Amino acid sequence: MHKVHRRRYLQGVFLALLAASSFATPVCFAADATYMRASMSLDEPGEKTGLFISSSFEFDLPQALSEALHRGIALYFVHEFRLYKNRWYWLDKAVVKSRFIIRLAFDPLTRRYRLSYNGLSISFDTLEQALPYIKNIRRWRVAPATIIKNAEDFTAELRFYLDTDQLPKPMQVVNTGSSDWTISSEWITIPIPADVVSLSE
């Protein structure tokens, strides 16, 4: 009899936990930044010779981030590139790691949006005008022109994300893991075109 009561008690506990789990707060993931396209080229006109990346991502700015921006909190967006040399006998070797950082801020006095990157800045009247310059970049020099000797020996990857480490510390603690406060993509493998390889040898 004692075993029967114990079994019923354990069953009751299990059912209670199962019911509670159905009301639990769902796990929050980063808002998606959707990869659209990317390309690799050499020697962009007017630029120092090198290996260049152009990339495009699409995302919606969460309402919480938009409100934070209008309260004077700057947002930092990152296009990140890495180039690995493939090694069958050991872990792949990272030969290039580069980040293109774009700072977005709102000036409540002028009611204008300011983008800053690489020591340059540009202002916009609306957020809709500014966002395409964050989502799409061109002529980003990531490495010397001679870095790739054989396409089969290398893997090129790219991703985009909001750098939450740049948010004020209290916001980092309170909003960690919330999709309203994070934007990111997966690492995307991008093709290495033949003309990049042939011209770099």
Q: State residue 45's pLDDT score.
A: 76
What is the Rg, in whole angstroms, of the alpha carbon atoms belonging to the chain? 24
The token duo for 149 is: 């000797």
The token duo for 130 is: 């500014």
Q: State residue 20's pLDDT score.
A: 33
C-alpha to C-alpha distance for 167 and 124, rounded to whole angstroms = 22
Picking from 187, 10, 200, the residue whose alpha carbon sits closest to that of residue 84 is 187
Picking from 138, 175, 152, the residue whose alpha carbon sits closest to that of residue 40 is 138
Domain ranges for the chain, please list them: 31-200
Per-residue pLDDT of the chain (201 residues; tens, 9 = 90+): 444 444 443 344 333 333 333 333 333 445 789 999 999 998 777 778 899 999 999 999 999 899 999 999 999 999 999 999 987 777 778 899 999 999 999 999 999 999 999 889 999 999 999 999 999 999 899 999 999 988 888 999 999 999 988 888 776 655 555 667 889 999 999 999 988 885 444
CA angle 183, 83, 142 (to 5 degrees): 80
